[in-house]
Structure 1
Amino acid sequence: MMTYYSIYMIFLYLMDMMLMLVMLYPSNLFKFHPLVLSILLIFYVMILSFKMNFVAGYYWYSYILFLVMIGGLMILFMYFTSLSNNQLFYFDKNYYKYLYVKIFILMMLMLMFFKKFDYMELLYWFNYSEIFEFLNIFEFFKKDYYKNLMINYSMDLNMFMIMYLFFTMICCVLICLKFSIPLRQIVKSK
């Protein structure tokens, strides 16, 4: 039977593994489209904010980090779409073969590392001793001051807002693709 401690450790291992995989993906930068790199940055920020939510217990820092990064990425998105006019994405099959080998080697190294070292000792060594207060999951959710920004857990409303914003962005892109123009026109001065 798995204890709460082991579930907590497995979750932290998986979050670290996903962070490493997102960092490993753009190892061949000169062949990547800038929009792919911005999508990878969005994934990295989302995983990091989920980990901050789970470890710290209060959600202010992760909300602020996510909103600041998404605001910056919107500016980068507009900049890249104005510079790279309708460039196609190219998928290199050889790169994905090497990527699978890199992922396999990374997973083997992480498994060896996590078997040799206790993850909680590493967290304590990095001065995260306050994490040890949150190991009891039931006590974690009973306390009122650990609730999220909207006081009650309303994941449905959050997911609706995320999907609405994503749908709006897709509609704007499709409108611009219909006329084969970039999202922002470059006006030449006379």
Structure 2
Amino acid sequence: MLLIFMMFSFLLMFIFLNHPLSMGMTILIQTLLMSIMTGNWHFNFWYSYILFLIMIGGLLILFTYMTSVASNEKFKFNIFFLTPFFSLILSPFFEFLFKNYDSLNFNSTNNFNLNLSKFLNIPMNMIIMFLIIYLLITLIAVVKITDFNQGPMRQKN
């Protein structure tokens, strides 16, 4: 419930943002919260980790593009806008502090260990080995394609 409330508050905050860097930061936080939420639902963080890495890669490309296009644009904070959203973000934490701790269930850690061992058993370990070899070949191909002598495409003055 806490993560859903935080995601909703960041969604509302994203609607009112007008600077691309602040929008990118909000998308980054939304992705992190979504990754945590899907990892907790499935007791397996592999999908969440892949989702987070793909979104970070896309956001890095957007960040470099936006900083090259609008590099000298001022970033202004609107204090009137930030005050209600900080209260929206902090209110679930107070709910969590006053929650009854006896109702928390810590038996889910056993399920996580069982789900993790499925990836390492005989039928699935061949897929993991194939993935490792594929990533190694891709890494070698990218290193061979790039030419270190030419350097960066952007010229420095």
Distance 1:141 1:26 in 2: 34
How much does 1:101 deviate?
Answer: 10
> What 5-or-longer segments of structure 2 have no aligned partner?
96-103, 121-152
Identify if the C-alpha distance between structure 1 residues 136 and 90 changes in structure 2 by more than 3 Å, giving closer, same or farther: closer
Q: Structure 2 length normalisation: TM-score?
A: 0.57
Matched, 1:145 2:133: no
Cα RMSD after superposing both structures: 3.3
Alignment of 1:98-137 (within 5 A): 99-100=84-85, 103=88, 137=106
Matched, 1:79 2:65: yes
Aligned residues: 110
Identity %: 29
TM-superposition CA deviations, 1:57-115 (whole Å, max 9, x none): 11221011001100100100010011002222112233335x459949xx7xxx9xxxx
Q: Which has the higher contact order (CA 8 A, sep 6+)?
A: 1
Residue matched to 1:21: 9
How much does 1:28 deviate?
Answer: 2.0
Q: Aligned AA for 2:62?
A: L
How much does 1:186 deviate?
Answer: 8.2
Distance 1:71 1:46 in 2: 13
TM-superposition CA deviations, 1:129-174 (whole Å, max 9, x none): xxxxxx9632x322433349x98xxxxxxxxxxxxxxxxxxxxxxx
Residue matched to 1:114: none
Distance 2:50 2:64 in 1: 22
Alignment of 1:23-38 (within 5 A): 23-29=11-17, 32-38=18-24
Runs of 4+ in 1 over 6 A off after TM superposition: none
Residue matched to 1:92: 78
How much does 1:26 deviate?
Answer: 2.3
Identify if the C-alpha distance between structure 1 residues 83 and 185 changes in structure 2 by more than 3 Å, giving closer, same or farther: farther
Counterpart of 2:15 in 1: which secondary structure?
coil
The answer to whether the Cα contact below 8 Å between 2:38 and 2:48 also exists between their aligned partners in 1 is yes
Residue matched to 2:142: none
Distance 1:51 1:103 in 2: 19
The answer to whether the Cα contact below 8 Å between 2:9 and 2:85 also exists between their aligned partners in 1 is no
Alignment of 1:33-52 (within 5 A): 33-52=19-38
Identify if the C-alpha distance between structure 1 residues 145 and 25 changes in structure 2 by more than 3 Å, giving closer, same or farther: same
Q: Structure 1 length normalisation: TM-score?
A: 0.48
Residue matched to 1:62: 48
Distance 1:103 1:94 in 2: 14
How much does 1:21 deviate?
Answer: 0.9
